[in-house]
């Protein structure tokens, strides 16, 4: 259960009185500034060779549930920068992100795409790149994988309610390789009162034991236990503030 402050409870009451309108949900959610629990940093700070890595986009993500392109770019650059050979996507939908991961990683990289809907994977099915992608159908659980199966990079983009994010994150940490990276999507999703945006609250719980950061200019959050990432050093310093002017800003935009 989420312990809401008085402001959130009041806005929830107003939202219910309005007929639970989605537009008001987004408006009221935007007023809950306290929900930015995580410290922020720029992608260039935390992803190796971020500015130098080249990626190739063959097809933009399609459909309302697809990951926005700027966030896909960050995920791709993370896979390249951390030299991830085993990648797990929890919540795959059409499979646009899985396809782009397969197209932008080395031939020996394996992507495992998991979704509860058996229709997932339309973006790459029957294409040559499909040989790099393993599909799993079912609800997210570490028990659906082999006991010694571990992943270098895990991208979590499944159900976004608090309970689901807690479950998916617990599973991800069990499946994370010793030198692994976890990325979460929809940290800034604006549908809190419908119950579809519990990512910040769930990550706030996990951040008590893990140094999780929001990537400025995206809807992504990241954790890594890769030594070269210097997680402990990031945890000790103060979060980088946004630039004082538009000429100094380094956050992503797209």
Give 247's pLDDT tier (boundaries 50, 70, 90).
low
Length of the chain: 254
Q: How many angstroms separate the CA atoms of 197 and 67, rounded?
A: 15
Kindly report the pTM of this predicted structure.
Answer: 0.89
Q: Which of 97, 26, 111 is nearest to 60 (CA)?
A: 97
233 pLDDT higher than 50: no
38-236: which CATH topology? Answer: Rossmann fold (3.40.50)
Helix H, strand E, coil C: the string for 15-49 is HHHCCCCHHHHHHHHHCCHHHCCCCEECHHHHCCC
pLDDT at 252 (0 to 100): 77
Give the C-alpha separation, 194 to 213, whole Å. 25
Q: What are the residue boundaries of the structural domains of the chain, listed by start? A: 1-35, 38-236
> Over the chain, what is the mean pLDDT?
88
Q: Which helix (H) or strand (E) holds 177?
A: strand 176-184
* 9-66 pLDDT, tens digit each: 999 999 999 999 999 999 999 999 999 999 999 999 899 999 999 999 987 777 776 7
CB-based contacts of 57: which residues, under 8 Å, 6+ apart? Answer: 69, 100
- CA 2 to CA 16: how far, in whole Å? 18
Pick from 116, 114, 85, 91: nearest CA to 180: 85
With b meaning 16 or more CB within 10 Å and e meaning fewer, what string describes 186-216? bbbbbebbeebbbbbbbbbebbeebbbbbbb
């Amino acid at each position: 259960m989420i312990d809401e402050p008085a402001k959130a409870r009041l806005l929830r009451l107003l939202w219910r009185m309005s007929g639970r309108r989605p537009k008001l949900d987004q408006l009221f959610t935007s007023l809950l500034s306290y929900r930015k629990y995580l410290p922020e940093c720029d992608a260039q700070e935390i992803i190796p060779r971020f500015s130098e890595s080249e990626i190739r986009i063959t097809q933009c993500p399609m459909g309302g549930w697809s990951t926005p392109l700027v966030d896909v770019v960050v995920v791709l650059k993370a896979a390249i920068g951390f030299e991830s050979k085993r990648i797990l996507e929890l919540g795959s939908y059409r499979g646009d992100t899985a396809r782009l991961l397969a197209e932008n990683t080395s031939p020996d990289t394996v992507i495992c795409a998991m979704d509860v809907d058996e229709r997932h994977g339309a973006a790459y099915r029957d294409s040559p790149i499909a040989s790099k992608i393993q599909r799993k159908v079912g609800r997210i659980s570490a028990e659906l994988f082999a006991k010694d199966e571990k992943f270098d990079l895990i991208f979590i983009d499944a159900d976004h309610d608090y309970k689901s994010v807690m479950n998916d994150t617990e599973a991800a940490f069990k499946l994370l390789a010793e030198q692994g990276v976890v990325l979460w999507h929809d940290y800034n999703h604006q549908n809190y009162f419908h119950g579809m945006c519990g990512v910040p609250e769930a990550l706030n719980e996990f951040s008590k034991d893990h140094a999780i950061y929001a990537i400025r200019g995206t809807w992504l959050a990241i954790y890594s236990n890769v030594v070269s990432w210097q997680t402990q050093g990031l945890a000790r310093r103060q979060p980088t503030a946004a630039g004082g002017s538009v000429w100094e800003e380094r956050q992503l935009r797209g």
